[in-house]
């Protein structure tokens, strides 16, 4: 099973950025843990601060992987383009957020992705990614 994790803008600063909200672990270290936990899965990780690069990655994997786990970060709340990219591919997508965006500012309550994804995991810290992977495995078997 091949899964692609896609992280959007500023998530390269996890572990440094707003630790009270996002925690003190960087994603590269967390990704190593995920890989060792889910040894039977081919897990890939991509991060970009550029909207078009995120869309290109969705197109690249969207017809040949088994699923995408995406945290589009701030683009969640602004990007019709990422929402359209998710609609355009053939594999299932799970949206994740580290924080509970509904408990934060009102502009974070709107997601341009949510209507097009299979499910959403949010507010559980980095564990949100772990649970999204587990869900793909459970539904795949
Ligand atoms: C986020 C929530 C977004 O509102 C924010 O812009 C992010 C991270 C999260 O994972 O909690 O950068 O997607």
Neighbours of 75 (CB within 10 A): 23
**The pLDDT value given to residue 140:** 67
> Does residue 130 register a pLDDT over 80?
yes
Which residue has the CA at smallest separation from atom 6 of ligand 1? 74
Which residue has the CA at smallest separation from atom 3 of ligand 1? 73
Q: Which atom of ligand 1 is nearest to the CA of 72?
A: 13
What would the pLDDT profile of 13-54 be if each residue is shown by its tens digit? 999 999 999 999 999 999 999 999 999 999 999 999 999 999
- Residues 124 and 140: their CA atoms lie apart, in Å, by 23
Identify the structural domains of the chain with CATH numbers, from first to last: 2-140 (3.40.50.9100)
Distance 98 CA to ligand 1 centre (A): 7
Residue 19 buriedness (CB in 10 A; 0-12 / 13-18 / 19+):
exposed
What would the pLDDT profile of 70-110 be if each residue is shown by its tens digit? 999 999 999 999 999 999 999 999 999 999 999 999 999 99
Average pLDDT over residues 44-71: 98
pLDDT band at 139 (very low <50, low <70, confident <90, very high): confident
Q: List Cβ neighbours of 81 (8 Å cut-off, separation of 6 or more).
A: 51, 52, 55
* Catalytic one of 22, 30, 45, 129: 22
Q: How many residues does the chain have?
A: 141
Confirm if 27 and 71 have CB atoms less than 8 A apart: no
**The pLDDT value given to residue 141:** 54
- Residues 58 and 79: their CA atoms lie apart, in Å, by 14
* Catalytic one of 30, 45, 75, 97: 97
- For the question of residue 109 being annotated catalytic, the response is no
Distance 140 CA to ligand 1 centre (A): 27
């Amino acid at each position: 099973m091949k899964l692609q994790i896609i992280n959007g803008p500023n998530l390269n600063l996890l572990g440094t950025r707003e630790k009270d909200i996002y925690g003190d672990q960087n994603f590269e270290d967390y990704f190593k843990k995920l890989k060792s936990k889910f040894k039977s899965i081919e897990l890939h990780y991509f991060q970009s601060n550029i909207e078009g690069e995120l869309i290109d990655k969705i197109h690249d994997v969207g017809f040949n992987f088994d699923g995408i786990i995406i945290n589009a970060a701030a683009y969640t709340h602004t990007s019709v383009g990422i929402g359209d990219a998710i609609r355009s591919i053939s594999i299932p997508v799970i949206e994740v957020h580290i924080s509970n965006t509904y408990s934060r500012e009102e502009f974070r309550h709107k997601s341009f992705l949510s209507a097009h994804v299979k499910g959403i995991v949010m507010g559980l810290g980095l564990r949100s990614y772990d649970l999204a992977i587990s869900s793909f495995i459970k539904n795949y078997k």
